[in-house]
C-alpha cells in the first residue's frame, strides 16, 4: 500500500472564522503530489468485519462465465484519495477539528475513506446543524473537484483493463458513494463516459454503501445475475457493499492496507490493474468462457 506522504503542501494557513474563506483561497492554488515517490505506509490496525472470511487461494472462478464487472470510482478507477485527504485535512484543521491538529492518514483511512457525506456529517461534525455541516462538505467537494481537475491520476493499468473488458464484450457499471458532480467529472476526465453503461449513485438508493443497495441496483440495471459478476473496490465500506450483494470483490490496495481490505471480505487484493494476480484470474475466466461456448456449440 502506498502512502500520501509525498504530497507537497504549502505552510498551513492561519485559522479563520469562516471555512468558506479557506475554500476560496485553496481554489486558487495548486498542491502537487507525486505518486512515484510515495513511501509504503506503516501497518494500520484492521477494522473488525462480519463479512465472509477470505482464504488463501481465493479466486474469481465462482463467477464463470463472467458477464459483467462493476467498479467503484474514487480510489479505484483513479488515484483520488490523496486529493480527498488533502482537502479534508486542511478544511478540518481550519475549523479547529481535533483541537486544530491536522488529521493523519490513519484517521482518514479508518474514518473517512469510502464513506458517504451524510455518514461523515455524523462522524466529523455531529454537533453542527444539518445545513451547516452539509454546506461544509459541499465546499470540501468543490475543493476536491478543483484539485482533481488539475492533478487526477488514473489507476495504473486502467486503459489496458478497459480494453480487455470491451474485447470480451462484458457489461460494466460504475457504483459510487460520491456526489454526482464528482462522479461525472472523474469519469469524464478518465475518458470513460462512453465506457460505462450505467452510473449508480448511492445517494439515489434507499441505503448507501456499506449496504448492498447500490450494487444490487447496478445488477438490476444491467440485467445481470450476481452469480456472473464481480466488483473492484478500494474501501472497507465498498467491499462490504459488494459482498453483501453476493459478488466477489477484488480489493485495490494502492492506498489502504491489504489486511484491512481482506478482513472486509475481498477475495484478494491487488496493487493496481497491472498486478499479475489480476491478469492470471482474468485469463482463467476467459478460458472458462471459451470452454463453455465450445461445449454449448
Which residues are catalytically annotated? 72, 74
Of 269, 276, 266, the C-alpha closest to 253 is: 269
Compute the distance between CA of residue 85 and CA of residue 92 in angstroms, rounded to an integer: 10
C-alpha cell at position 157: 493499468
Residue linked to cell 470513460? 192
Looking at the DSSP bridge assignments, the partners of residue 172 are 69
Instruction: Please report which residue ranges of 152-266 form alpha helices under DSSP H.
Output: 158-168, 180-189, 213-222, 236-244, 258-264
Q: Residues 202, 213: contact at Cβ < 8 Å?
A: yes
CA angle 244, 242, 154 (to 5 degrees): 165
Amino acid at each position: 500500500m502506498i502512502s500520501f506522504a509525498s504530497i507537497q503542501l504549502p505552510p498551513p494557513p492561519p485559522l479563520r472564522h469562516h471555512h468558506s474563506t479557506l475554500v476560496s483561497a485553496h481554489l486558487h492554488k495548486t498542491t502537487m503530489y507525486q505518486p512515484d515517490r510515495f513511501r509504503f505506509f506503516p501497518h494500520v490496525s484492521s477494522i473488525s468485519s462480519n463479512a465472509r472470511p477470505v482464504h488463501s487461494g481465493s479466486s474469481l472462478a465462482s463467477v464463470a462465465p463472467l458477464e459483467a464487472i462493476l467498479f467503484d470510482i474514487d480510489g479505484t478507477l483513479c488515484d483520488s484519495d490523496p486529493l480527498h485527504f488533502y482537502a479534508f485535512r486542511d478544511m478540518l484543521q481550519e475549523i479547529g477539528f481535533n483541537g486544530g491538529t491536522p488529521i493523519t492518514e490513519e484517521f482518514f483511512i479508518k474514518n473517512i475513506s469510502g464513506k458517504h457525506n451524510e455518514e461523515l456529517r455524523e462522524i466529523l461534525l455531529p454537533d453542527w446543524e444539518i445545513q451547516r455541516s452539509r454546506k461544509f462538505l459541499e465546499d470540501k467537494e468543490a475543493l476536491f473537484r478543483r484539485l482533481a481537475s488539475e492533478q487526477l491520476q488514473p489507476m495504473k493499468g486502467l486503459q489496458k483493463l478497459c480494453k480487455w473488458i470491451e474485447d470480451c464484450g462484458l457489461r460494466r457499471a460504475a457504483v459510487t458513494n460520491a456526489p454526482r458532480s464528482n462522479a461525472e467529472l472523474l469519469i469524464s476526465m478518465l475518458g470513460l463516459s462512453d465506457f460505462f453503461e450505467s452510473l449508480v449513485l448511492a445517494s439515489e438508493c434507499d441505503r448507501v454503501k456499506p449496504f448492498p443497495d447500490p450494487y444490487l441496483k447496478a445488477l438490476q440495471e444491467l440485467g445481470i445475475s450476481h452469480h456472473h459478476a464481480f466488483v473492484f473496490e478500494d474501501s472497507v465500506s465498498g467491499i462490504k457493499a459488494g459482498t453483501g450483494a453476493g459478488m466477489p470483490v477484488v480489493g485495490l490496495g494502492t492506498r489502504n492496507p491489504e489486511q484491512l481490505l481482506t478482513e472486509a471480505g475481498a477475495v484478494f487484493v491487488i496493487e493496481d490493474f497491472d498486478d499479475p494476480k489480476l491478469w492470471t484470474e482474468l485469463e482463467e475466466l476467459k478460458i472458462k468462457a471459451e470452454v463453455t461456448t465450445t461445449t454449448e456449440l
